[in-house]
Structure 1
Amino acid sequence: MVMSYIPSFLLALLLASSGHGSCFHFTSLAEACSPSGQLVGKSGNCNTENDSECCEDGKMYDQYLCSPPVTGATSARMTINSFEEGGDGGGPSECDGQSHSDNERVVALSTGWYNQGSRCGNNIRINANGNSVLAKVVDECDSVHGCDDEHAFQPPCHNNIVDASRAVWTDLGIPDSQIGDYQITWSDA
């Protein structure tokens, strides 16, 4: 009797892991952070510097309270952001209430990685394009809120974003034609 149960269980497990069954659902570490809700888009006076995405009326945007786990080489998407006054960052930095020159190596992290400001003022190491740089965490790339004046009418960030100043991109040697959205790894320094 036990012998006939094992093959059925293995078949269910195999089907579930292949996506053909619905009995079980397994996730990898990268998938462990699911959306916590959705935000209804509202358009407005969007700052399109650096080709920023602007909210669309009625469009649904995922919200995240979490980010994938941080490792010694955390996979992320690096986006470009201006931290200067009037830049597309949406206002002063969360960590210090200040604007920062685009010539400084500074970043904003998705909400989960920002971790309620626990990384404020700390450096992270960013690896890309065969190079490595240190950058200071000065802001949150808000993965929950957006589509309002405070967030420059841009949607919430994805849960895997390192939003970096132009200086970070330049020091990593990334060509201008590739600036905008780039696959990187990062770690706490």
Structure 2
Amino acid sequence: MSRIDETRDFIPARIAVLTVSDTRQADDDRSGDTLVQRLTDAGHTLAARAILRDERDGIAQQLRDWCDGGEIDVILTTGGTGLTGRDVTVEAHRDVYEKEIDAFGTVFTHVSMAKIGTSAVQSRACGGVRNGTYLFALPGSTGACKDAWDEILKWQLDYRHRPCNFIEILPRLDEHIRRK
């Protein structure tokens, strides 16, 4: 159950959106547009946006650059989470994760099951952390992006969400680095 504690102030996150596709361009990136609209409507800041081809090394490098730049709190990627040969976004994500958020994929599958039944098994949506930045790999369908945002991320990226949320622990994600 999601609860918002109105006694707490909303804290906007700086969120980047990366669309992974061999065919999409800025003018027809509906899934990227959907994520941008939802995150800005929620009060967050769009910190960066890009479209890259389905190339593992290029995706991983963009994720590293954004995570290591210190200007982005959350990265949402859309596309490349399926099972075909060109779907390499999940592998690129895992190349850069320090820690994986295992339950994100599980919860996303649960949400998807309610919408698309057993077809949910074909998604490899995942989440993780690198250098104090959250990363989430979402499918390329607009519906899946809506579901991930509306049912999971909208709540977990809201500091007011109870009993806990990603934003309240954001300052502690890189404490192991700061202690060295």
TM-score exceeds 0.5? no
- What range is the shorter-chain TM-score in? under 0.3
Higher Rg: 1
Q: What TM-score do you get using the length of structure 2 for normalisation? A: 0.27
